[in-house]
């Protein structure tokens, strides 16, 4: 039997990178998958077609989770389409890097809204469904930067640290309803975004990682699979660093 057989999962920000791989691994493991995308419409539509090949129900939604009303509509639409929701992976995120003295208020607000407020919006909406079901799983994507900070990323670090505090609180509030909430904190992961970097810069970063390599999207997706499945049924309120030893 597959690890997520018969479960319905939502993955936000899944048109590329880490989110795309999580959606793929979940579908491979028997989950019905709802996922969101925003700007990458063609990639989102292509992913929907691709994942249906695994034989489960897959539907992509164009939705901006940083907007409270859109998040509520998203959850309502998923419940109408799939009947319920068992697993939520809050993965949507952006960066607008810059040193504090040059960072604009807009850059701060945009990153906090997409990275942190979206987690509140989606979690609040989905938790109502899970409380009725008396079961559910939240997996929220933070970052090694949320644990140790990084120069030039004060907004990103604040948003990702906020996710950790938020998740720990939600785990305590919802635990009595058999709802678990955990965090994954990726380190340096190879994605489309890192492919455009200077290879020498990447080599320098990898040299400082104890495992001496960048992570893959599959490394993160496999950690997500563990936390989404019953293999982790007694784990909640925790932060799992998937970073090759960076933190």
The C-alpha atoms of residue 95 and residue 109 are separated, in whole angstroms, by 11
| Sequence-distant (≥ 6) Cβ neighbours of residue 4 within 8 angstroms | 26, 29, 30, 31, 87, 225, 228, 229
Instruction: Count the neighbouring beta carbons within 10 Å of the beta carbon of residue 25.
Output: 22
Q: Is 37 a catalytic residue?
A: no
Two structure tokens written together for 107: 């850059």
**Helix H segments across 113-177?**
118-133, 144-148, 154-174
Task: List the catalytic residue out of 37, 54, 61, 156.
Answer: 156
Phi/psi zone of residue 220: left (φ > 0), alpha (ψ -120 to 50 degrees), beta?
alpha
Residues acting as catalytic residues: 156
């Amino acid at each position: 039997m597959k690890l997520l057989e018969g479960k319905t999962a939502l993955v936000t920000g899944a048109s590329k990178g880490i989110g795309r791989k999580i959606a793929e691994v979940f579908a491979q493991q028997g989950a019905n998958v709802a996922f969101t995308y925003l700007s990458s419409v063609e990639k989102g539509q292509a992913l929907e077609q691709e994942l249906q090949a695994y034989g489960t129900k897959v539907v992509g939604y164009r939705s901006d989770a940083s907007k409270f009303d859109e998040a509520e509509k998203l959850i309502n639409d998923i419940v109408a389409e799939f009947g319920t929701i068992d697993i939520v992976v809050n993965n949507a995120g952006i960066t607008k890097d810059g040193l504090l003295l040059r960072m604009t208020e807009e850059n701060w607000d945009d990153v906090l809204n997409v990275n942190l407020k979206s987690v509140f919006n989606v979690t609040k909406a989905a938790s109502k469904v899970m409380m009725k079901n008396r079961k559910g799983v939240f997996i929220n994507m933070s970052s090694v930067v949320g644990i140790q900070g990084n120069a030039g990323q004060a907004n990103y670090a604040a948003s990702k640290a906020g996710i950790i505090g938020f998740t720990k609180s939600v785990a305590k509030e919802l635990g009595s309803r058999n709802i678990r909430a955990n965090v994954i904190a990726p380190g340096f992961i190879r994605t489309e975004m890192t492919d455009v970097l200077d290879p020498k810069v990447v080599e320098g970063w990898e040299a400082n990682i104890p495992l001496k390599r960048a992570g893959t999207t599959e490394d993160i997706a496999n950690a997500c699979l563990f936390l989404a499945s019953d293999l982790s049924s007694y784990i909640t309120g925790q932060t799992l660093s998937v970073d090759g030893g960076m933190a």
